[in-house]
Structure 1
Amino acid sequence: MFYFYILHSNELDRFYIGHCHNPEDRLKRHLSNHNGFTAKAKDWEIVYTEAFEAKTEAYARERQVKKWKSKVAILELINKV
């Protein structure tokens, strides 16, 4: 399985959108010492996931949601669950 996921940081009040094979392992890497956007905070948490059979499907969903460029639309998606 592959996953589309959304992380949230209360410290930054920002979302991070991505896709991966294992969301829990990926979150650990986001929280580790590294360079990049998620390195700016250490309080990221997974707030939403969707499972897909193929990596291409998870990536397509990531691109779709990123195109929204809307915090309101992302919050509606998360709260729909």
Structure 2
Amino acid sequence: MKLSFVYILKCSDDTFYTGVTLNLEKRLEEHISGAHPGSYTEKRKPVELVWCSEFTDINLAIEKEKQIKKWSRPKKQALIDGKYEDLPNLARKRFE
């Protein structure tokens, strides 16, 4: 069973970056070293791992990554802080 990871990095400009990977240690090193010129985190170093979760199904991990990327900053912060009970109340409201 191969594990995959969804993770959130806090960047030097106080923004969050959410990603998914099969090798968390290697991917973090790539973010830290700036291995991908022009990437979001390469221009915002240093970065710090502030949250991650393991998945046994890469498809579920990708789905969760996409979901988190759409979240507001306060909702991501609640996840990072482990305030899971706050997550439903922090959903983005769309009024038209």
TM-score by length of 2: 0.76
Superposed displacement of residue 66, structure 1: 1.0
Q: Identity of paired residues, percent? A: 35
Q: Higher relative CO (CA 8 A, sep ≥ 6), structure 1 or 2?
A: 1
Matches within 5 A, 1:6-25: 6-9=8-11, 11-25=12-26
Residue 76 of structure 1: how far off its partner (Å)? 0.2
Name structure 1 gaps, 5 residues minimum. none
4+ residue runs of structure 1 moved beyond 6 angstroms? none
Deviates more, 1:32-41 or 1:21-30: 32-41
- What's the Cα RMSD here? 1.3
- 1:43 maps onto 2:46 in alignment: yes
Deviations 1:20-77 (A, max 9, x none): 0121210111122322111112211111011000111110000111122x11000000
Equivalent of 2:75 in 47, 65, 73: 73
CA radius of gyration, larger in: 2
- The TM-score with structure 1 as length reference comes to 0.89
Unmatched 5+ residue regions in structure 2?
A: 84-96
